[in-house]
Every structure is written in structure tokens, then in C-alpha cells.
Amino acid sequence: MMNTELTRKLNIEYPILQAPMAGGPTTPDLVAAVSNAGGLGSLGAGYLSAEQIRNAIREIKQRTDRPFGVNLFVPEQPSTPEDTIANMNDYLNKYRMEVGIAPSTSIPKFVESFEEQVQAVLEGYVSVFSFTFGIPSHDVIQSMKQQGMFVVGTATTVDEAIALEAAGVDAVVAQGSEAGGHRGSFLPSTADALIGTMALVPQVVDHVSVPVIASGGIMDGRGLVASLALGASAVQMGTAFLASIESGAHAVHKQKILSSKEDSTEVTNFYSGKAARGILTDFMKNMHFYEGTIPAYPIQNALTRDIRQAASKVGNPEYMSLWAGQGLRLSQDQSASEIVKQTLDQAYLLIKSMGNLRE
């Protein structure tokens, strides 16, 4: 056991949360393996339909009777002009050619219905509901809480954490700039905020009274102990689990993570219209030459989807989104339970040896 306010509230053994990762990595096997190992697994359901969410929840429950979470994206209604979208769609045709697919003539569907996704989560009776990209309505937060769910929001600045606490969340993820994947930033003034985990966590801890979950660049027991020292009640690790055996990340994505270095990632909005950290690809390099405006999320995400999918099919990493955090050099292709166990073993050893520091 490693007791913190959060482990007590969530009824889990260890303050290790596996980050929800939409787009395939967080398979029912991964979520259940982390929960069964005493941490908290979490399904990244942002891109799933209500039916897919119901199925995934059922599959997770077949594999574990421990608590786990489901994560959704708070929807945004961007007001990108039609011609900005059309120009980008035309421009992307040269990449479609590169990956061997036909030019696009129509604009695809942007997102799944948030209301239907919420309904599927409510019906799933899961322990934790987490979200990113904003704050859902009062009604959504309250209905999750009435169902007995523990509600977690994502902040990248102190102001966002304060806004989340005021909206009634039970805990806040403090997502530092090292983090892989999309930035959870949602206040206009913080769109470009890139505060590192080391600086962000203690400042958030000082300004909210709910438990804080440190996220971004935490890969092992050292990161766990450091986060607890900064006042966090748990860690949320994404990249550390991305290359795990149970992860559903593409084999090429896993291989890239295992062979890349701490300076291999960049924050880009070229794939989705929203800032996200991933391993630098030819697509990211080439898109710098685009002179127009990048449509906002989720429009750009929908426009590049066919390119990313075609690249995945043939295993061409240069046109895939290879989300990963700055700690990627510490990744290992182990099972999820080994990652949880090693993280804990290392943390216990560290805590013990730190007890000798004053001698």
C-alpha cells in the first residue's frame, strides 16, 4: 500500500493512474491490467461512439472488478470560416497522394455526440469520470456525481485548476508541458501556456483544496516520489504505458517511442488544430510551409484523419501522429503490471534512502 488522500478516496492501493489515451492505446486489457495491479486504469473514450464506450466498459468489467476511469473530451464549437477549412482540405491532398489515397472532395464528420458519450458513461457505473479540453456543464458534472462517480478535470495552469474546483470536480490533473498528447488548456489566456510539471504542481497544490494529480514526464519511481514531494496525491502516467504489452498503440508508434530521445518531441497543432506533443515527423516539418490558417480542433483533426489512418495501415510513421511525452527515453516494453510494480519498488527504495539524507 502507498496511502494518499487520493488512494483513500478512490479505494485503490497505489497512487498510480494510467493516463486515458484516446485513439487506441488504452485497450480494455491495459485499463484492467493497471487496475488489477493496484493502480487506476482509465479508458480514453474521446473518439469513441456511445456504443463503443458501452462495449469497452463491458470488456473492462469482464477483466477487473476494481475501480477504473473513463475520459471524454469537452466539446468545442470553433468558428473557423468555410474557406479556411476548404483551403486546408485542398492543401492536404498532396499528403493524401503521398500515402496513396484519393483526394478528398467532402469535409468529414468532426466529432462524436458528447451527450450520447456522457449517457454511455452514466449507464456504465464506472468509478471515475475524467475530462480534458474544458469544463462540462453543471448538469453533466452533477449527474456523474449523483451516480457516485469521482470527477476529475485537467488543468495546465493555476487559473484552470481554480476554475475546475469551482465547477465541483473532486480532483485536478495538473498537466505539465512535458506531457505527451493533447494539452488540456482551455482558458483563452492560457492557450500557449507551457508550464513544466515541476513548476506547475506545487503552484496548483497551493491554490486548490482538492487532491492534485501530477502528469507530464513521469515515467518511474523517481517521478512518483518527486510528484508526492511537490504535494501531488497521485501521478498520471501516459507515455510510460504507451509501449507496454497491453497498449493498443500501433507497433510503429511503440517502436518509435522505444528508440527516440528526450529531444525528439515537439508541440504541434498541425495534426488536430490543438496543441499536442508528439515525436517530430515529416508531416510536422512540412506543414510549417503552409501559409494559411490551421483550422481549429476538432476540424483539423477530422481533415487529417484519412491521412493518419492510411499511414497507420502501411506503418508509415511520418504521417501518423506519434504522441509522446518528453520522458520517452525511459519507456520500456514491459507488461503494465511490471511497470506499476517497478515504479513502486523504485519509489519505496528512494523514500527509504531519502530517510538517511539528514545523517
Instruction: By CB under 6 A, name the binding residues for ligand FMN.
Output: 19-22, 25, 44, 46, 71, 132, 154, 175, 178-182, 215-218, 236-240, 242, 323-325, 327
294-323: b (≥16 Cβ within 10 Å) or e: bbbbbbbbbbbbbbbebbbeeebbbbbbbb
Is the torsion defined by CA of 67, 70, 71, 72 positive or negative?
negative
Cβ at position 184, least distance to ligand FMN in Å: 6
Determine the residue with CB nearest ligand FMN.
238
For residue 81, the minimal CB distance to ligand FMN (Å) is 28
What letter would DSSP give residue 323? B
Written as one string, the DSSP assignment of 338-352 is HHHHHHHHHHHHHHH
Nearer to ligand FMN, 21 or 287 (CB): 21
Identify which of residues 7 and 132 has a Cβ nearer to ligand FMN in the complex: 132
Q: Smallest distance, Å, CB 179 to ligand FMN?
A: 3
Complex with ligand FMN: residue 71 or 269, whichever CB lies closer: 71
Which of 85, 232 has the CB closer to ligand FMN? 232
Helix 114-124 crosses helix 50-63 at what angle (to 10 degrees)?
20
To ligand FMN, the closest distance from the beta carbon of 89 in angstroms equals 25
Closest by alpha carbon to 68, among 139, 118, 141, 19? 19
* Cα 212-216-219 angle, rounded to 5 deg: 105
Q: Which is nearer to ligand FMN, 42 or 89 (CB)?
A: 42
186 CB-near residues (< 8 Å, 6+ apart): 74, 133, 134, 135, 160
- How far apart are CB 195 and ligand FMN at their closest, in Å? 13
> ∠ CA(314), CA(316), CA(320), 5° rounding?
110
Residue placing its CB nearer to ligand FMN in the complex, 29 or 178: 178
Q: Minimal CA–CA distance to 205: which of 150, 161, 169? A: 161
**Which residue has cell 495501415?**
313
Nearer to ligand FMN, 238 or 317 (CB): 238
Q: Which amino acid is it at 142?
A: Q
Minimum CB separation from ligand FMN for residue 93, in Å?
A: 27
* Shortest CB 221 distance to ligand FMN, Å: 14
